[in-house]
Amino acid sequence: MTAAALGAAALLAAALALSLRFTWWRPRRKGTPVLMYHEIGPHRPGSALNHWRVTEGDFARQLDLLVRRGLRGVALRDLLDRPAEPGRAVLTFDDGYAGVLLRALPLLRARGFHATVFVVSGKLGGANDWDGETPGDALLTADGVRALASAGIEIGSHGATHRALTELSDAELAEEVAGSRATLERVLGASVASFCYPYGAFDDRAVAAVAKAGYRAATVIRGGLSEDLSDPLRIKRISVRGTNTLLDFSLALTRGRSRL
């Protein structure tokens, strides 16, 4: 085989590998993309949790891509209030990291974007000790939660202690769901309407507890685009990882996910 033929074969193999990795061949789907972030901040050398850390630079580029696409970043409550309004992407942040206040908020405000931050009510001022990494990433304090709310960011609940709801007794489930809402409402002096299932773990019993506690909406980890809000307590989201490329992000906005 000639050098030219070898080169062409290599290019074809690379193109095939890229096509298999990304799902641009998937059909575009309707629906408002609901994006799931965690921490906004630098990666740690060798950390397995870097897939949940999106750097400031990557986050800024993702927001700029939304702007170029004609999409405005909004909170989950905005989607609930005006479900049929086009041209939006819902931005959500799990766990309530301090980096959302320190690093994400200035980037959001510069573009006139809003978002929803799901806070673990019993861990305010602490760290994400449930992830098993030492030291953990700093979580918002009560003052930080209030500062975000004052800036127009919606505060939702991510439970009281970040435990999987499906593994709890009835009393524990009530504390994680209704108890966390009551705690955050005392901190904010305002109503809390949105919930996020810790670890994405939910079943009919957990959903019933969320409904009973008075939440208007709840999000899951399950990827995809929801075309409507017919099931507002099981809203799908698109996971945004710190290891994603901008192409990953771009494709996921219309396909629900970017990779196989």
CATH code for the domain in which residue 144 is found? 3.20.20.370
At residue 39, the 3 state secondary structure works out as strand
State the Cα–Cα distance between residues 247 and 249, nearest whole angstrom. 5
For residue 184, tell me if it sits in a domain: yes
State the Cα–Cα distance between residues 119 and 187, nearest whole angstrom. 12
For residue 151, tell me if it sits in a domain: yes
State the Cα–Cα distance between residues 199 and 7, nearest whole angstrom. 46
For residue 205, tell me if it sits in a domain: yes
Tokens of 12: 């074809």
* AA letter at 233: L
State the Cα–Cα distance between residues 13 and 40, nearest whole angstrom. 35
Query: Into how many domains does the chain fold?
Result: 1
Q: Give the burial class of 254: count Cβ atoms within 10 A of its Cβ; 0-12 exposed, 13-18 middle, 19 or more buried.
A: middle
The pLDDT mean for the chain works out to 90
First CA to last CA across the chain, in angstroms? 33
Asked if pLDDT for residue 48 goes beyond 50, the answer is yes
pLDDT at 23: 57
Lowest mean pLDDT among 17-26, 99-108, 172-181, 209-218: 17-26
Asked if pLDDT for residue 92 goes beyond 60, the answer is yes
For residue 167, tell me if it sits in a domain: yes
Mean pLDDT of 47-55: 93
* pLDDT level of residue 16 (50, 70, 90 thresholds): very low
Phi, psi values for residue 156, rounded to 5°:
-120, 175
pLDDT at 18: 47
Mean pLDDT of 194-208: 96
Tokens of 71: 């999409």
At residue 54, the 3 state secondary structure works out as strand
Instruction: Read off the pTM.
Output: 0.89
For residue 206, tell me if it sits in a domain: yes
Asked if pLDDT for residue 226 goes beyond 80, the answer is no
Strand partners, 92: 36, 116
For residue 128, tell me if it sits in a domain: yes
pLDDT at 19: 45
Which domain does 127 fall in, by range?
Answer: 3-255
For residue 73, tell me if it sits in a domain: yes
For residue 260, tell me if it sits in a domain: no
Q: Render pLDDT for 148-179 as a digit per residue (tens, 0 to 9).
A: 999 999 999 999 999 999 999 999 999 999 99
